[in-house]
Amino acid sequence: MELKEEIYEKARGYGARLVRTAAADSWEHEPIQAPEFWPRSFWSWCTRVIVLGIPLFPPMIRSTPSEVYKELYDTSNRLMDEMAYLLAAELTDRGFRASFFPRDCYDGIPVLLDNPSAAFSHVMAGYYAGVGTFGDSHNLLTKEYGPRVRLVSVLTDAPIEPDPKLEQGLCLHCKKCLRACPSGCFEESGRGLYKMDKRACTEHHLQLIREHRFPCGVCASVCPVGEDLKLYRGVEPVTKDGAKHLQSFGS
């Protein structure tokens, strides 16, 4: 069995539902971010970035903001860091350099008011690896789950063949995220991705933290992209009264 198949099989065994690989020099060949955010700027030995993804279930994310969704989000965080740790350990045992970048890697939402950028973008890694394409909401949209997916990345020098990027964008430009955003942080730009007021988004999340029902996730919840929604055709993932009920307890 080839190394790539073996590593992907291991990742799926750890719980990953999506596994794809990007070449580390993709950041350089198609620069979207400043060089300081490129993986080889901080780990020069890195040649590959393996992206792992797990889904967020529509019935739970549709209840946002609720403790139900908060628990789902917390569970996904725990699973992602564990998956990435185990895969990095597996690669190290095989004689390759490896590390992982934690799924969020910031001290808390308040720090994002002054510096609203992550040191490494899993969304960008997912784009280069062909996991998905950018939506107008700045989320990564996947064929399987739309934006209802959480990502984590393993950086390595293992000679794994990179996967191709998706050629066709998945965003339908339906404006549902624009209209539904409770913080009003999106504004049409006329050039695809919306202008995003990161401070407004962050301040809304700070309010949700005070209400003990962080995070938000409305933009991901209302997005119609994703095969995961086929299971709920003809029925709402959660009723309006049900969502209100779930939002009334535990927070």
Q: Which residues pair with 100 in a beta bridge?
A: 154
Alpha helices by DSSP H, 51-186: 58-61, 67-93, 122-129, 176-180
Closest-CA residue to 150 (of 206, 76, 247): 76
Q: How far, in Å, CA of 214 to CA of 169, rounded?
A: 30
Do the Cβ atoms of 126 and 113 come closer than 8 Å? no
Tens digits of pLDDT across the chain (251 residues): 699 999 999 999 999 999 999 999 999 999 999 999 999 999 999 999 999 999 999 999 999 999 999 999 999 999 999 999 999 999 999 999 999 999 888 878 888 888 888 899 999 999 999 999 999 999 999 999 999 999 999 999 999 999 999 999 999 999 999 999 999 999 998 878 999 999 999 999 999 999 988 899 999 999 999 999 999 999 999 999 999 999 999 88
Q: How far, in Å, CA of 11 to CA of 89, rounded?
A: 11
